[in-house]
Amino acid sequence: MSRIRANGVELEYQELGPRDAIPFLFINGFGSQLTSWPVEFRERLAAAGLRTIAFDNRDIGLSQKWTGQIPDIKAVSEAMRAGRKPDVPYRLDDMAADAAGLLDALGIESAHIAGASMGGMIAQLVALDHPQKARSLISIFSTTGDRSLPPSSPEAQAALTTRPPSNSREDVVAHALKGRRSYASTRWPFDEGRLGALIGHNYDRSYYPEGPGRHWAAILAAPPRTERLKSLKLPTLVLHGSADTLIRPEAGRHTAQCIPGAEYHEIEGWGHDMPLPAIPPVTKLIVNFVKRVEAKAKAAA
């Protein structure tokens, strides 16, 4: 892994795959380090001919922190309901500028921009705010932020907004496992051993409970992207799971409906996670889409 300055922010990142391969930027979700998804996911993409770049979003993992800037979540919510601009340390647009800046810092003119959950929201903003950096948009179990969409289940919502009983490794891992069960896939078994080891590894790498609070404030402060996405002229793939209780599948369908010409796939029994058996079908959809986009661009050149 390496550290680089992008958009004025120190970001930790990792690349897999040949440097001259098709650039593919993956943006992680809420409070999620670049190591949070199985490495097998990125390895499979790299093996298919993609230069896969993942990074720790600002305020998480080994990237730059905003320590001490504690947002008032209640005030942020009230401001949004009243139509006022909320006071937050940074916005999703700033995180999108980080992603675009990372590509600039790496000397990459444009890439396929993919993101999961909050990462999908950021990926949408990269496509909207920095269109020159995006060859395509791949939005994975994410949302436009439209207020009319159905909410998370109470259990899934609690998984994101409640804290473990202590900051001990044991309590943090147990709390995270309980939360992940609430929005896990139903098609495949819940692999507690593998997930527990992954959560423990991330705890050892960087346990930083302050950062997710600012991520949450940035999500709450983001206006819906519904109308802006309707004008997006970019090849788009939207992936969602039918069993997602955190960001409901209606949100994925809505995202695809908003973006002209978007391709939508809903995977039966997939939740808000990436179990190992889900990697082959998900990566196949992504790789085939990327190759179609690349072939079309080459033919038009």
Q: Which CATH class is domain 2-151+210-300?
A: alpha beta
One-letter amino acid for residue 106 of the chain? L
pLDDT digits (tens, 9 = 90+) for 129-165: 999 999 999 999 999 999 999 999 999 999 988 999 9
Phi, psi of 237 (to 5 degrees): -120, 130
Angle among Cα 203, 174, 71 to the nearest 5 degrees reads 60
Give the model's pLDDT for residue 289. Answer: 98
In this prediction the pTM is 0.97
pLDDT digits (tens, 9 = 90+) for 42-82: 999 999 999 999 999 999 999 999 999 999 999 999 999 99
Residues, the chain? 301
The sign of the torsion formed by the CA atoms of 207, 181, 26, 247 equals negative
Judge whether residue 301 has pLDDT over 90: no
Give the model's pLDDT for residue 1. Answer: 74
Give the model's pLDDT for residue 140. Answer: 98
CA 239: distance to chain centroid? Answer: 12
Report d(CA 68, CA 219) in Å as an integer: 19
pLDDT digits (tens, 9 = 90+) for 221-239: 999 999 999 999 999 999 9
Q: What is the mean pLDDT of residues 227-255?
A: 98
Q: What is the mean pLDDT of residues 267-276?
A: 98
Domain boundaries along the sequence of the chain: 2-151+210-300
The sign of the torsion formed by the CA atoms of 36, 41, 46, 50 equals negative
